[in-house]
Amino acid sequence: MNWNQPFYGHDGEGWFLRFRCYTKHVQVQVFRGTSLDPVPPKASKHAEVRYVDICEDDDLDKGRLRSWIEQASNLPGEET
């Protein structure tokens, strides 16, 4: 974990996901997000990275979020 940013990955294979915790929302960062179907909505300055911002009152599509996390966990990890 890096300050308020827990990382998720596979031991020895790198990271595939990070959560950034802000005051009013949580941002899910997918390191190879452009490889997901559908691609998460928010672009990054890094070519493959995509974001999902989740606010408390959002109507969260839990099935889609679960799918993105499962897809990301099956992709090669990143070393940060």
Query: How many CA atoms are closer than 13 Å to the CA of 21, on its beta-carbon side?
Result: 7
Q: Is residue 78 part of a domain?
A: no
Per-residue pLDDT tens digits for 6-55: 999 998 899 999 999 999 999 999 999 999 999 999 999 999 999 999 99
Please count the structural domains in the chain. Answer: 1
What is the Cα Rg of the chain in Å? 12
Domain assignment present for 45 = yes
Which domain range does residue 24 map to?
A: 7-73
Domain assignment present for residue 80? The answer is no
Q: What is the mean pLDDT of residues 44-70?
A: 96
Q: What is the pLDDT of residue 78?
A: 86
pLDDT of residue 1: 53
Find where tokens 């949580």 sit.
26
Residue 79 lies in a domain: no
The CA distance from 33 to 12, in Å, is: 20
Can you say whether residue 14 is alpha, beta or left, with left for phi > 0 and alpha for psi between -120 and 50 degrees?
Answer: left
